[in-house]
Amino acid sequence: MEQDISEGKFIEHGEYKGNLYGTSAESVETIVNSGRVCVLSPHWQALKMLRTPRLRPYIVFIKPPPLETLIETRTAANARSTFDKECSRAFTEEEFADIIRSSNRINFLYGYMFDEEIVNKDLATALTQLLKMAWRVQSEPLWVPAAWVQ
């Protein structure tokens, strides 16, 4: 696997508890070439590896609502933090602020790659928007970078 990583055969890869893992570009291509839709939730740093004519992704950024709304909606839903591996607990205000800061940073660095943005203010609404967008992407013609069709 290390050789495949060095040869750029993975869209993203990492190590967890001493084990290597990754998403191979070939597996994504196989799914796409079979006419199916491949849905990925990659680390934001993998976007540069994804946005290629070989994979032709449609990139949707699911972003949090404003801080006050994020705190209100997640507290009402009893959202739990998984940052602390020892126990599941409610998010702190600082963690909510970190979510907003991270979202803003990702948007600043990679926003030019996003085909669409959905604000996850309300889960049901965000899901409906995502499903409508997925249907539209599959059924309507889309603009793509000129370099992808040459």
For residue 130, the model assigns a pLDDT of: 93
Asked if residues 55 and 29 have their Cβ atoms less than 8 Å apart, the reply is yes
pLDDT tens digits for 76-125?
777 776 666 666 777 788 888 999 999 999 999 999 999 999 999 988 99
Q: Which of 75, 73, 62, 72 is nearest to 120 (CA)?
A: 62
| Predicted confidence (pLDDT) per residue in 22-79, tens digit | 888 899 889 988 988 888 888 888 888 888 888 888 999 999 999 999 888 887 777 7
- pTM of the predicted model over 0.85: no
Residue among 90, 94, 101, 38 at smallest CA distance from 66: 101
DSSP structure string for 43-86: -GGGHHHHSSTTT----EEEE---HHHHHHHHHHTT-EE-SSTT
